[in-house]
Structure 1
Amino acid sequence: MSKRVTFQQSARPSLSRVRGTVVAASVGASMVLGAGAAFAASGTANTTSTVALAGAAGSVAQQAEVQSKAAASAKKAAAEKSVKAKEAAKKKAAAAKKKASSWEAPVEKYTLSATYGTGGARWAAKHSGQDFAVPIGTKVEAAHAGTVVKAGPNGGGDGPAYGNAVVIKHSNGKYSQYAHLSQINVKIGQTVKTGQKIALSGNTGNSSGPHLHFEIRTTPNYGSALDPVSFLRSVNVSL
Structure 2
Amino acid sequence: MFPRVTSRSSRTTTLRTRAAVLTVGIGASVALGAGVAAADGTTTAAPSSSSVASAVEAQAQAQAKAAQTAKAAKAEKAAAAKKTAAAKKAAAKKKAASWVDPVKKYELSAKFNQAGGMWSHKHSGQDFAVPTGTNVVAAHGGTVVKTGGNGAGDGPAYGNAIVIKHGNGTYSQYAHLSRIDVKVGQVVTTGQHIAKSGSTGNSSGPHLHFEIRTTPNYGSAVDPVAFLHRQGVTV
For Structure 1 versus Structure 2, the TM-score category normalised by the shorter chain is: 0.5 to 0.7
For 1:108, the equivalent position in structure 2 comes to 104
For 2:216, the equivalent position in structure 1 comes to 220
For 2:193, the equivalent position in structure 1 comes to 197
Asked if residue 133 in structure 1 is aligned to residue 120 in structure 2, the reply is no
Q: Provide the rounded CA distance (Å) in 1 between the counterparts of 2:88 and 2:193.
A: 20
Among all aligned residue pairs of Structure 1 and Structure 2, give the percentage whose two residues are the same amino acid: 71
Change (3 A) 1:204 1:236: same
Residue 94 (structure 1) shift: 5.6
For 2:79, the equivalent position in structure 1 comes to none
Unpaired stretches in structure 2, ≥5 consecutive residues:
1-83
Task: With the length of structure 1 as denominator, give the TM-score of the two structures.
Answer: 0.61
Q: Provide the rounded CA distance (Å) in 1 between the counterparts of 2:121 and 2:179.
A: 26
Deviation by residue 1:42-81 (Cα, 9 ceiling, x = unmatched): xxxxxxxxxxxxxxxxxxxxxxxxxxxxxxxxxxxxxxxx
Q: What letter matches 1:232 in structure 2? A: L
Q: Which moved more, 1:93-102 or 1:126-135?
A: 93-102
SS of aligned partner of 2:190: coil
Larger radius of gyration: 1
Change (3 A) 1:91 1:167: same
SS of aligned partner of 2:103: coil
Unpaired stretches in structure 1, ≥5 consecutive residues:
1-86
SS of aligned partner of 1:181: strand
Task: With the length of structure 2 as denominator, give the TM-score of the two structures.
Answer: 0.62
Residue 99 (structure 1) shift: 2.2
For 2:179, the equivalent position in structure 1 comes to 183
Q: What letter matches 1:226 in structure 2? A: V
Q: Provide the rounded CA distance (Å) in 1 between the counterparts of 2:91 and 2:102.
A: 18
